Amino acid sequence: MSGAPILDVRNLSVRFRTEGGDVPAVSDLSFTLDRGETLAVVGESGSGKSVTSLALMRLLPKDSAVTVTGQALLEGRDLLAIPEPEMRKLRGGAISMVFQEPMTSLNPTTPVGAQVAEAVQLHRDLDRRAAREEAARLLDLVGIPAARQRMDDYPHHLSGGMRQRVMIAMALSCDPGVLIADEPTTALDVTIQAQILDLLKRLQERTGMAVVFITHNLGVVAEIADRVLVMYGGRAVEQAPLRPLFSRPLMPYTAGLLRSVPRMELAGRRAGPLPAIPGNVPDPRHMPPGCVFHPRCAHHQPGRCDAAAPVLEAADEAREVRCLRWRELAA
């Protein structure tokens, strides 16, 4: 179980066509994911994280307003190019996804057990009864107490945390190689958040799946990630293993993000009020010239940062960064 990455995303771009013109939601994004690895994709809202995950699942609206280019090789097969029926078989099978909103992501008129069983039955050759058995096992696995009794409950009977466990059970039903978790804990309160993260870690250890964990919460990242991909304005701006990134961010944006997080989870110390990054996420229709982060960057040099667009360059064998001044700043 080593060697080639399980997922290899190359030059992924997503554009939306709107009244106001073309919107590049994701630009030229490339990353890899090794088996069993957890990659955290971090960024503020609007940075393109969720669009990336939906693009990989091919769940973006299938109309002419959306243009997706690039490659996403899942064990060598390009998710963006295979025919839809094949893709459908992969979805929920080899690659599955957990969404942000547990309150609305379950079908309100179908008992939860049936929803899990449906996923099981779709991808595995089981009859109804066996699928139901399997669903019960999965619900139990994700830590739903008295799982068998809750099979016939409707989603509205369950709490948010429980619903998210159901979602996870559904996602895991076919031992996926890759699980994309799109802010799975954001909508939950803190104690539940921790439980769900624990659960995910535990399940990952058991099944050896790779996880793409999308979040804006660096606290969560610290807890779960092996590697971190920081996105800003639809681009990857920094990519590094967890520890080096946290201890020595190269991109000023990453540094800003880290400063804006209560650091107790990270180092147990806390110093004064949290300095948020000034300014707002750029309007994707009017990206600033040069480095897209320069209007908010404390280190930006007029005439340089707003003139040439930086490229993503390798900082060392494990790290990449997109900044014109990273060497100066690191020094």
Partner 1 sequence: MSGFLARRLGQSLVLLVLVSMVGFAILHLAPGGPMSQFASGSDMTQEDLDRIAEQLGLNRPLPVQYAEWFWRMLQGDWGRSYRDGEAVLNVIGSHLGATLQLMLTATLLAIIIGVVIGTLGAIRRHSIFDTLATVGAMIALSIPTFWFGLVAIYVFSVWLDWLPSGNRFTPGDGSPLDLLRHLILPAMVLALVETAIWSRFMRSSMLDVVNQDYIRTARAKGVPEARILLRHAFRNAALPMITVLGLQLPTLLGGALVTETVFTWPGMGRLFLDSISYRDYPVVMGILMFSATLVLLGSLLADLLHAVADPRIRLG
Partner 2 sequence: MSLALSAPAFRRFRRHRLAAFGAATIVLLTLGCFLGPFLLPFDDTTIDVMNRFAPPLSGAHVLGTDELGRDMLARLMMGGRVSLIVGFTAMAIGMALGILVGAVAGFHGGWLGAALMRFVDAVLCFPTIFLLLALAALVSPGLLSIIILIAATSWMDVARIVEGQVKSLRERDFAVAAQVLGASDARIIVHELVPNAVAPIVVAATLNVARAILLESYVSFLGYGIQPPVPSWGNMLNNAQIYLTSAPWLAILPGLAITLAVTSFNFLGDGLRDALDPRMRAR
| Residues near partner 2 (CB under 8 A) | 17-19, 58, 62-69, 80-81
Taking CB within 5 to 8 Å according to partner kind, which of partner 1, partner 2, none is near residue 66? Answer: partner 2
Interaction of residue 107 with partner 1, rule CB under 8 A: yes
**In terms of C-beta density within 10 A (0-12 exposed, 13-18 middle, 19 or more buried), how is residue 101 classed?**
middle
Euclidean distance between the first and the last CA atom of the chain, given in angstroms as a whole number: 38
Contact letters for partner 1, residues 136-165 (x by CB under 8 A): ------------------x-x---------
Residue 250 gets which letter from DSSP?
-
Residues in the chain: 331
Residue 101 CB, shortest distance to partner 2, in Å, is 17
The residues in 52-71 that bind partner 1, with binding defined as CB under 8 A, are: 57, 59
Which residue, 95 or 323, has its beta carbon nearer to partner 1? 95
Interaction of residue 91 with partner 1, rule CB under 8 A: yes
Interaction of residue 92 with partner 1, rule CB under 8 A: yes
Pairing verdict, β 313-316 and 77-78: unpaired
How many beta carbons lie within 10 A of that of residue 297, not counting itself? Answer: 22
Residue ranges of alpha helices (H) inside 58-100 are: 84-90
Residue 287 CB, shortest distance to partner 2, in Å, is 20
In the beta sheet, which residues pair with residue 73? 8, 78
Q: Which residues lie closer than 8 Å to 189 by C-beta, 6 or more apart? A: none
Residue 223 CB, shortest distance to partner 1, in Å, is 24
Question: Distance between CA 247 and CA 146 in Å, rounded?
Answer: 43
Taking CB within 5 to 8 Å according to partner kind, which of partner 2, partner 1, none is near residue 88? Answer: partner 1
Which residue, 119 or 236, has its beta carbon nearer to partner 1? 119
Question: Distance between CA 253 and CA 279 in Å, rounded?
Answer: 12
Residues of this chain that bind partner 1 (CB under 8 A) = 57, 59, 88-93, 96-97, 99, 101, 104-110, 118-119, 122-123, 154, 156, 167, 170-171, 173
